[in-house]
Amino acid sequence: MSWILNPDGHQDPTATRQEADDSPKVPDPVDKNRLVSTKQANRPFLAYKAYRDNMAKEHEAWLERKKEREEKIKRGEKVGPEEEDPTAEPEIGCLGLLKFLVIALVAIVIAGKFFTGSYLWEMEPPNWRQFIPTNQRLFSESMLAQFDGTDADKPIYLAIDGDVYDVSAGRNTYGPGGSYHHMAGKDAARAYGTGCFQTHQTHDLRGLTERELQGVEHWKKFYAESNKYNKVGRVSHPPIDPSSPIPEHCTPKRAEQELKEEKEKRAKAAKKAGSDHKEL
């Protein structure tokens, strides 16, 4: 780019000349017939060459010692333990890799406790049981009823919207005398949405409000994602007669009020959608 600064090509008398290299010269590691400067730019390469030469000398000395040791063995003389090659590069191996992984895992766990107050970085541990192959069964209602906890030798099962879960880990809750024993051995999905645990011991979800259906979905998600209870199969229900009466709510006034509020909410949403359509 000198032509940009000096387009006429005249030499600037004030320009500084390159200083002469007064650094000592040594043989070129590649070409022994020439000398190279020991200036700062060349020192890393020269230092590496000196390192390699030193390693070669140590290796030759080791080979000589090894040869002497083998000759002593042939003569029946006592020798010490075999010396390892001091120039050999150490291999990490499986043990070294395992050690590194353990140290890294411990560091991550401690960092999680320091930054978030949780060893698992505020994450829920996965339910490992869901990855274990299982023989899920298809239950009839009468078969499911046999697992209501009254027989201490059998597990406790309950169902919600067709999915059957093993709740034996909560025997104090779902077993005889427990607060949720009335849910064991049956599919009482409707009760999970309405809260009518005594009268809605059925899987019939007809006529539920949007809020009640959300309640059922909440409990379905609870059991599906639980680390304590695992799914063991499905229950087969006989079809529901559409003309059969819908189970009466245990608190009719509250159900009527919720249904009224839901209809008003839908009417407002429809009215708003209609006004927005007119504006367009």
- Which phi-psi region, left, alpha or beta, contains residue 24 (left: φ > 0; alpha: ψ -120 to 50)? beta
pLDDT at site 136: 85
Instruction: Burial-class residue 249 by CB neighbours within 10 Å (0-12, 13-18, 19+).
Output: buried
Q: Assess contact for 166 and 135: CB atoms under 8 A.
A: no
The pTM of the full predicted model, rounded to 2 decimals, is: 0.49
Name 163's bridge partners: 160, 234
pLDDT string in tens for the chain (280-residue length) = 454 555 565 555 555 455 566 788 888 877 778 888 888 888 888 888 888 889 889 989 989 998 998 998 888 888 888 888 888 877 777 888 899 899 999 999 999 988 988 888 888 777 666 666 667 899 999 999 999 999 999 999 999 999 999 999 999 999 999 999 999 999 999 999 999 988 999 999 998 988 899 999 999 999 999 999 999 999 999 999 999 999 988 888 877 887 778 777 777 777 776 665 555 5
Residue pointed to by tokens 């000759």: 71
Helix, strand counts (H, E) of the chain = 8, 6
Give which of 24, 169, 195, 218 is closest to 182, Cα–Cα: 195
Q: Which tokens sit at 216?
A: 């059922």
Half-sphere exposure of 215 (CA within 13 A, CB side): 15
Q: Which tokens sit at 32?
A: 């022994």
Residue pointed to by tokens 């070294």: 96
SS3 165: strand
pLDDT at site 177: 93
Q: Which tokens sit at 190?
A: 């409707």
Residue 86 CA to residue 54 CA, distance in Å, equals 11
Residue 106 CA to residue 100 CA, distance in Å, equals 10
Q: Which tokens sit at 63?
A: 């080979």
